[in-house]
A and B are shown apart, each in its own frame.
Chain A
Amino acid sequence: MSSQEIKARIFRYDPEQDVEPRFDVYTIPVIKNMAILDVVFHVQNYIDKSLAFRCSCRIGMCGSCAMYINGKPRLACRTQVSSLGTSEVTIMPLPNLPIIRDLATDMEPFFEKWKKIKPYYVGKPELKDPVVIRPDSDEREFIDQMLDCITCGCCYGACSMVATNEDYLGPAALNRAYTLVADKRDSIRVERLKAVGRSYGVWRCHDQFNCAEVCPKNLVPTKSIQQLKKRCVMQKFGVFK
């Protein structure tokens, strides 16, 4: 194998046909600026057309192409082959989710949990116009940096508490809950806080920061979850309204 090629071990599994998963190995010519997404496209377009994976925007905005790449959840589009520092790459589906086929996972459990925290904004009826908030005020806390979540599921795939607790809401949903609970424009903050202040909610997080380590947007869901925990306690004492 020349240095102009890489060896890709790709996870193959069709739950309806195969007894168990297997790895197929492909040798692929390296191109300039090659992302893992280019690798799987090359295989699917020109070597084995039956390969299945998901992709949409290809520039890290849609969060459709999260995969388990060399032992870590990452976006295929934003993982440059050269950044892996190896000529062999192992590509598997994102952990903790059912597999549709090959690298395409069913994200429904992830979004079912997302829906459980009431992810939608419900504005206070008295707010008739966009609120005036100066950027140098602390009104928004760190909500805005946490709003950049692209629901790719990397955190969900990395979280050991998700892996061992089917009901745990997981980092992305809880991070979303924080951005609404801390948003003073919202009118169902207490209701939402109650939805996350349970054993399968915020208290299941053990501060391992696995989510933050893999987030392609550099968010820190652990920090959001800490903020929720704090508010849950305050709410119990009647301080959070």
Chain B
Amino acid sequence: MEEIKTDVLILGSGGAGLFAALHVYDNNPGLDVILATKGLIGKCGCSRMVQGGMNVVLNSADSVDKHFMDTIKGGGYINDQELAYTLVSDAPKAVHELEVKVGCFFDRAENGEIHQKAFAGQSFDRTVHVADLSGIQIIARLTDQVFRRQDRIKVLEETRGLDLLTTAEGDRVVGAVLADMRTGELIVVNAKVVIVATGGASSMYKISAPSVDKTGDGMAMCFRAGAEFCDMEMMQFHPTGLLAGQSRLSGSVLEEGLRGAGGYLINGLGERFMERYDPERMERSTRDRVARAGYMEIMAGRGTESGGVYLVMGHLGSEFVEKKFPGMCDRVRDVGKELSKEPVEISPTSHFMMGGVKIDRDCQASLKGLVVAGEDSSGVHGANRLGGNGIGESVTFGRRAGDTAAALAEQELLRPFRQEQVEEIKQRWLKFFKPTTGVDIYPIRDEIKNLMWEKVGVVREAKKLQEAISRLNGMYEEAQKAYVTNRTLRRFNMEWNEIMNTINWITVARMVANSALLRKESRGSHYRSDCKTDNENWLKNIYMKKKGEFEIETDIRPIISTRFSMEEIRKLNVQY
């Protein structure tokens, strides 16, 4: 088994992973970096898929305090306020760096300054963008900058993380075991610091938005290593996922700028149903409320024939829609519809995890040597994320993760890894090649997606959550009996990959379902049909970590309200 020693190991090549790599290098070009990515560099994960854009305060009439208040209001006030404030105050620096140093060129307004468009749930039009497919440019340019620094940043493509390596005491991460999926060979990377930035696991739902490779691997690895998590019940459903039957196009997001520009939603009866749910903000309400409204309409039998509602753009004029949203128009054309002319069927789609690994402002997780950035982390968005704060989190915290890792790598010694732990990890993931018969992983994978959608979905209740937890535990056991059909083929084996994905999905899904059962109230994207919002008792975060082999230990603590007090929040009496 190949062994590599390095200063910093980065898992993931989205906005967080790429920016972290640049910042490690730019802080200290003498440090060695390994950047391992599950797909091709800059092509896998979801930063690449960012459509709408990034929220940032650039205009003197706007302020970081306003952006902060929008972010915690949108988040149901349970955000870690220090992290939310870090996001809004770092975002202008990140956009500046993207333009001036990385070489992005965001769309310009008539006066030649960077254009900022309207998104939902915000008090100011502050979303910078490149037409309606912003991620392509942000990620392509960051990737080019990594190529420029390839003397020290070694890129391992189609190489997924399997598990983190820890010291015997279990309080420090000292590297990871990876799998080169092209050869099927395992690699041990011994590192002073590991940055986990692989993204979330919302692909575990029947209708979902992320790329197919994003399966919560980083979160699952961190859980198995014993890191602390926070607010795992907070799973965002985006209100406008394209409905395309069984095709994999289904669930892909039609961007929020469409609603920002004046697009509206109607149900199967032609009613503009947001009037019933948020008459003030209508379709420009936050994602949690709009997604839930759409779901309620569908469940009440007022949906379309294929179980959706409609997004309407035609009234804005087809020329305007084609010009402002060329990517969305193209996408919808693939399913035979004209977005600029006719209503298009949409559904809530599982999209983003607000919960994740607990970090501080420097992206430091509860284990030493473990730095986490982007969707894998928690706290920034609270109970619901604003559109445009996702790529914002990736780049701002990616930069910070790189700075932290560089500083730690300069101070720390390379600590040895434990060979017996490597053997254990090897056995955990290679055992699926041994049996000649066993469980077919694909039906289990399909079942997870249905189970999560039906029992841990947009609207939740205790009984269904308990059923889901029990079934997830059962599926975990079944997945351990999975086998790879072609036992001698380790090279580019997609079945082996899917077995590992499935085990990671279940690992993360158990945290989501257990946390959802614990939060006995409705808030943000977590809506319980059996519990109302409870501002007296539930201005709290739910923490989790592994106990023993696979049990979950939980802890409920008051929110981190360093800037806007609990008394002030209670006065607002927010209800979901």
Contact = CB atoms under 8 A, between A and B. Distances in A.
Given A32-B244, A80-B334, A186-B103, A61 B96 contact: no
Given A121-B102, A134-B108, A32 B246 contact: yes
B487 to A, nearest CB: 11
Interface string A53-70: 111111111111000000
B212 A58 contact: yes
Q: Chain B contact residues: over half helix, strand or loop, or mixed?
A: loop
Given A57-B48, A58-B211, A120-B147, A50 B489 contact: yes
A63 B140 CA distance: 11
Interface string B87-117: 0000000001001111101111111111000
Contacts of B335: 33
Contacts of B495: 44, 49-50
Contact of A35 (B49, B101, B182, B247): B247
A149 B336 CA distance: 24
B44 interface: yes
A60 B144 CA distance: 20
Give the one of B136, B137, B141, B494 with max A CB within 10 A: B494
A41 to B, nearest CB: 7
B346 to A, nearest CB: 14
Contact of A133 (B112, B246, B249): B112
B554 interface: no
A63 B555 CA distance: 43
A123 B245 CA distance: 46
A38 B99 contact: no
Contacts of B336: 33
B492 A100 contact: yes
A127 interface: yes
A105 B277 CA distance: 50
A132 B112 contact: yes
Interface of B: 39-40, 43-46, 48-49, 96, 99-103, 105-114, 130, 133, 135-137, 140-141, 144-145, 147-148, 150, 182, 211-213, 244-250, 252, 330-331, 334-336, 442, 484-486, 489, 491-495
A62 B114 CA distance: 25
Interface of A: 14, 16, 31-35, 37-38, 41, 44-46, 49-64, 77-78, 80, 100-102, 104, 107, 114-115, 118-121, 123, 127-130, 132-137, 140, 143-144, 147-151, 180, 183, 185-186
A59 B49 contact: yes
B489 A38 contact: no
A130 B114 contact: yes
A38 B336 CA distance: 16
Given A49-B494, A55-B213, A130-B114, 5 more contacts: A33-B336, A44-B495, A59-B331, A64-B40, A135-B110
Give the one of A58, A101, A136, A140 with max B CB within 10 A: A58
A80 B333 CA distance: 10
A13 B492 CA distance: 12
A52 B492 contact: yes
Contacts of A115: 147, 150
B334 A120 contact: no
Contact of B40 (A61, A107, A130, A185): A107
Nearest to A134: B112
B494 A61 contact: no
A221 to B, nearest CB: 15
A55 B249 CA distance: 12
Contact of A62 (B43, B102, B493): B43
A33 B245 contact: yes
A101 B252 contact: no
A32 B245 contact: yes
Contacts of B484: 49
7 contacts: A45-B442, A56-B213, A119-B147, A128-B100, A130-B100, A135-B108, A183-B105
A16 B491 contact: yes
